[in-house]
Amino acid sequence: MKRTDRNLPYAGLVEWLQRTHDLRYTGYGTVAGLTGMSYGGVKRWHQTGIPMWTADRLAIKLGAHPADIWPKEWWERT
């Protein structure tokens, strides 16, 4: 199993941010601003997915549980 096989999809984060923040557009800059991550880091998430430990800390920072953001994927990978 490759290291990136356990990464969570970037799309799940974007969809959750759109729902919870009533956003229509969520480019890298918007996601970076909402998550506190750098523009380059968000771009990397888009390309490779979000590592599990990062997703966990990110969800907590956003006031959620990772399963709220990635309902199916979180439980499949834990």
In sign, the C-alpha dihedral spanning 71, 3, 14, 65 is: positive
CA distances from 77 to 6, 53, 57, 68 (A): 6, 11, 16, 14
The pLDDT assigned to 7 comes to 95
Confidence grade of residue 2 (pLDDT, cut at 50, 70, 90): low
- Identify which has the larger pLDDT, 2 or 75: 75
Predicted TM-score of the model (pTM): 0.90
Q: Is residue 1 pLDDT above 70, yes or no?
A: no
Q: Is residue 4 pLDDT above 90, yes or no?
A: no
32 strand-pairing partners: none
Domain boundaries, position 8? 3-77
pLDDT in tens, 25-78: 889 999 999 999 999 999 999 999 999 999 999 999 999 999 999 999 999 987
Q: Is residue 3 pLDDT above 90, yes or no?
A: no
Tokens 């096989």, residue located: 5
DSSP H or E segment with residue 35: helix 28-35
Q: Domain holding 16: CATH number?
A: 1.10.260
| CA–CA dist 48, 37 (Å, integer) | 15
Based on the structure, what is the number of domains in the chain? 1
Amino acid at 68: D
